[in-house]
Chain A
């Protein structure tokens, strides 16, 4: 099987606290992996490590044949990894449409010289991107919100928007940090159906989620971690019945 992401023996210490303890795992192409574990298990730290926001002490991370260990966040995004944040980050003072436009890759208008000398090219690409962005909004059924500030969306719509931004960046691997926590059931359905579609578009997903029903519904595979270690790995059934997992939760 072809590995998309390969994490080898990663270690990260925070002042004596082991956030990642010799952590290794592999993510295949077109697969949805659930990452579960108690609070403080190191799940979000792992996301921050993969996306370059936190540097690791030792270990190696390979993505699609590229070594991305300790590269900068913007560079890692360019390789094709996109993420959402647990504390839900968006540019709240910009419109929904602008948030998506910001997320597209390789925009000529982001280079200063093109702003002045390639106006036509910039405008054409901007027009194309706008069309794509509106299509994505239509796909997510929030077309009518395109010109509202991201801040004026409901919490669930904001979470949806953050996933759409990942889609706009055309990532091969999406890291979704609690995409359905704290939102209403109808929105949960919508977001889960979008996530389920991702492998068909050639994308893989790592999903941090506490809602076990949702995890078993969408994930092909589940990794359980605690205290920075991988405790168990398998189908959600297997992991749920693993005595080490039960023990970790009872601790």
Chain B
């Protein structure tokens, strides 16, 4: 039972990550491979606050979101000048820099040894320590994040995001400040990703930089693409499928060393298969390999 709870908690964390990335990648059409960086930044801010100042969980959560959102603006600003493939490389660089800082700033982040003993959350006097209570908390957070994302994409604000994705020039010509919208959505997305980071840090109670590598970013992108870009429900479906899939391998009876490699191969081939035959994912509305006629 605990095993199942553990899987569900992981699914919840990835739902938050993929919902938030979907706002940038699926709705605004800007592919970023720095999402794990914001996930990590959120986790580290909350962990360091809790370890050094013993500050309450909710305060850490808010600070992690704000910190991550500010850094999100930092990566959003280059997106105004750099386009498409070049922007992906820029986000890749940001991802590598973040990892390097977390890995090398030993006195502050613990470096490769990571940060052990992160206190579990206490909310209004209730200590969240059992798997079940974590699951309840993550479900609540997922619902809140879904509500926030849904509200954004259904609003006139979300209509502008979709317009930016389809034709930036037209969007500017009808009087929308495209740059401001891009920076805003990057801040929101990064802030929401931090929630997942905080939950991960307090759930596992230990973090190290290897949880927030570029591979993790690619995994989150896979969820968004396979679930369906530009559709929030797609992100939920994608997170469930991609987190469950390798768990099934566990029961086939493969030795762990083989299963880990098969897992990577599975993700890779799944991504290729979807890109070729089902570029809109399970239920997506936007495909990255679509030929645009925007000139």
Which residues of A does B touch, CB under 8 Å?
Answer: 51, 53, 72-75, 77-78, 82-83, 85, 87, 89-94, 98, 101-103, 105, 107, 109-112, 115-116, 122, 126, 165, 169
Contacts and interface: CB of A to CB of B under 8 A. Distances in A.
B177 A74 contact: yes
The 5 A-B residue pairs whose C-beta atoms are closest, nearest first, are A77-B175, A109-B156, A89-B170, A73-B172, A115-B155
Contacts of B160: 102, 110
B158 to A, nearest CB: 8
A101 B176 CA distance: 12
Contacts of B176: 74, 102, 110
Given A91-B166, A91-B167, A93-B166, A109 B155 contact: yes
Interface residues of B, number: 29
A51 B173 contact: yes
Contact of B175 (A53, A78, A85, A98): A78
Contacts, number: 87
Given A53-B169, A91-B162, A94-B163, A102 B155 contact: no
Interface in B170-198: 170-178, 184, 188
B166 A85 contact: no
A93 B184 CA distance: 23
Interface in B120-170: 148, 151-152, 155-157, 159-160, 162-163, 166-167, 169-170
Contacts of A103: 174-175
A74 B172 contact: yes
A83 B285 CA distance: 28
Given A92-B166, A109-B155, 13 more contacts: A53-B169, A77-B172, A85-B169, A87-B295, A89-B169, A91-B163, A94-B159, A98-B159, A102-B163, A109-B156, A115-B152, A122-B155, A169-B175
A165 B156 contact: no
Contacts of A110: 156-157, 160, 176
Contacts of B294: 89
Contacts of A98: 159
B157 A94 contact: no
Contact of A115 (B151, B162, B293): B151
A227 B42 CA distance: 57
Given A87-B295, A91-B162, A91-B170, A72 B151 contact: no
A116 B220 CA distance: 27
A115 B157 contact: yes
Contacts of B295: 87
B144 to A, nearest CB: 12
